[in-house]
Chains A and B, each alone.
Chain A
Amino acid sequence: MLSRLFVTCSQCHTTHFISFLKHSHYVCSKCGYHFRIDAPNRIKKLCDRGSFFELDQGLKSADPLNFPGYQQKIDDAMIATGINEAVITGVATINDIRTALAILEPRFIMASMGSVVGEKITRLVEYATDHMLPAVMIISSGGARMQEGIFSLMQMAKTAAAIKRFHERQLLLVTVLADPTTGGVTASFAMLGDIIIGETKALIGFAGPRVIQQTIGQVLPPGFQTAEFLLEHGMLDMVVSRKNLKAILGSILRTHQQRPYAQGGERHAR
């Protein structure tokens, strides 16, 4: 993705020297476009240095439907990314606060959700529930992974059910929706955060723009399904530039470290 010396911004076509871009969080200095970045880079920017401890690293996808071409696709993605699946989960400290963390990897089959992504998200949420940790998820995904058919659809129910139990312990989930967040991932764990953050200009939605355009036969309005559009329609708490993300997450986590009147929340515990 960012392996050459120069890269051109897809929005304003400014050419950037990659080693400079690195220091600006891969944000275009001219138009503010946020380049897609890989999960290891995210971890480096977000976690306190050396604090990230990975969980469930070994899980790999099977090919339950024996779907044409799928095994090859998985193998290629594993080689291209050097990781086993489209999400990295673990525990880290963010501004010294211990947090369960999931980061989707868009280089891996567009971070679509098959059984492994669903399982790792669920295990992380269960881990956070057991250890009473807040959880942060940095999400970007094309949606359900159709090569796993109904098994991918069921991951939506599985992750949502795990978050329900997590919330009954009155724990905090912050979801950060980066470019792009669509389909079955938006319609499950992404929209279930207590606080939902959109990254600047990210595409966020349920149906893809092409599908909508085909259905209604009209040109879509400018800015449709951007993070800013969702904020305007009440679907997000805020839109945050990547440069400020760690500071904002740090503040949110800090505010949730105390419960000045804990008994008030008991109604929500079961």
Chain B
Amino acid sequence: MPDNPKKELLEIRQSIKDIKRKIPPREAKSLDPIIRELEERITGLGADGTPRAAIDIVKLARHPKRPTTLEYWQILLHDFIELHGDRRFADDQAIVAGIGLFNGIPVTVIGHQKGRNVKENIKRHFGMAHPEGYRKALRLMEQAERFGRPIITFIDTPGAYPGIGAEERGQAEAIATNLYHMSNLRVPIISVVTGEGGSGGALGIGVTDRIYMLANAIYSVISPEGCASILWKDAGKSGAAAEALKLTAADLFKYGIIDGIIDEPGAGAHEHPEETAALIKKTLSAALDDLLNLNVEALLSRRYRKYRQLGVIIEA
């Protein structure tokens, strides 16, 4: 560890800024690996420059004061109108959706919604969606496709809701169907993991052209507690499980699963919602600019290839 971690952190931040500002875009492309490496070195560090343990990031990702999806949308969108219901069974309160203008561009937005207090969280099922939530999302994604509107999804869920009704109404089918159709939707889709990216419940609205994570967000196949209780029969070992699962933004960026990390100022998004939203806006604007310039064939073949190449195997 460096002698003065905070100073080192600030220096690295400054050099990334310098590279991005001072180098002409044409040459900047070749510096991408260097920027990547620098960003890797500082993500996962606390404001004082010392590394955060994975479990501490898990706690931040679940922080009760962390801004929720609707709060971000209030800052990021104009003319936002919330739309409701799957037209089949119910209006799931754990997934919210609607239309609005982002930077003057019409978009469809979809996201998990957690509550701010116990009462709200009961209504929102703590951000855990039922099948009707995924079906509402798909209905509005297909609507977006019909109107040529890009889609932005905000991911923040512990997972899909595990319950009797959810199973009876086809939780697995609802998620599978979303993965299937999202892989081929003919408009750009971008997602941001703002808090918890909980397994299939997250992926159900997360098959996208670009995916970004806030610096203190997590994305994992299983919760650290679930993993610890299955593997070691001890939910108390969640710290070790969080480490082993490699669920932080820095880990996932290193593995090439996500396209970028969105910085959180100071102690985290819960203390700086406005600034965090501004940083999200910057990243989303750039991504949207890129994707809107692609023709649909290129968009779809890139999306297919992106998921096609994920996985690590040994070929004999």
Contact = CB atoms under 8 A, between A and B. Distances in A.
A31 interface: no
Given A150-B220, A150-B221, A187 B312 contact: no
Interface string A172-183: 000000000001
Given A144-B221, A154-B257, A154-B310, A161 B164 contact: no
A262 interface: no
B171 A206 contact: yes
A190 B176 CA distance: 8
Nearest to A167: B180
Contacts of B1: none
Contacts of B169: 233
A172 to B, nearest CB: 16
Residue of B171, B173, B175, B221 with most partner-chain A CB within 10 A: B221
A150 B257 contact: yes
A149 interface: yes
Given A156-B200, A206-B171, A215-B162, A189 B246 contact: no
Residue of A58, A234, A235 with most partner-chain B CB within 10 A: A235
Residue of B203, B220, B316 with most partner-chain A CB within 10 A: B203
Interface stretch (A12-20, A60-68, A91-99, A248-256): A60-68
Contacts of A116: 311, 313
B296 to A, nearest CB: 10
Given A150-B246, A157-B183, A206 B311 contact: no
A118 B246 CA distance: 20
B316 A149 contact: no
A188 B199 CA distance: 12
Nearest to A62: B312
Given A146-B245, A150-B257, A160 B183 contact: yes
A167 to B, nearest CB: 8
Interface residues of B, number: 54
Interface string A50-73: 000000001111101101110000
B252 interface: yes
Contact of B207 (A59, A84, A157, A162): A157
Given A186-B172, A225-B167, A161 B308 contact: yes
Contacts of A58: 315-316
A144 to B, nearest CB: 5
Given A149-B247, A154-B257, A160 B308 contact: no
Contacts of B168: 233
A165 interface: yes
B160 A156 contact: no
B227 interface: yes
Contacts of A109: none
Interface in A84-129: 84, 114-116, 118-119, 122
Given A150-B221, A184-B200, A206-B172, A60 B310 contact: no
A63 B277 CA distance: 37
Contacts of B308: 122, 158, 161-162
B16 interface: no
Contacts of A168: 184
Contacts of A152: 221
A149 B167 contact: no
Contacts of B315: 58-60
B147 interface: no
Nearest to B312: A64
Interface stretch (A21-29, A36-44, A216-224): A216-224
B154 interface: no
B245 A161 contact: no
A154 B258 CA distance: 11
Contact of A158 (B164, B170, B255, B307): B307
Interface in B280-316: 303-304, 307-308, 310-316
Contacts of A205: 167, 172
8 closest Cβ contacts across the A-B interface?
A: A58-B316, A115-B311, A207-B162, A161-B183, A160-B179, A186-B172, A64-B312, A206-B172
Given A149-B247, A191-B173, 12 more contacts: A60-B314, A64-B312, A65-B246, A115-B310, A148-B312, A161-B303, A187-B173, A187-B200, A187-B204, A188-B176, A206-B171, A208-B162
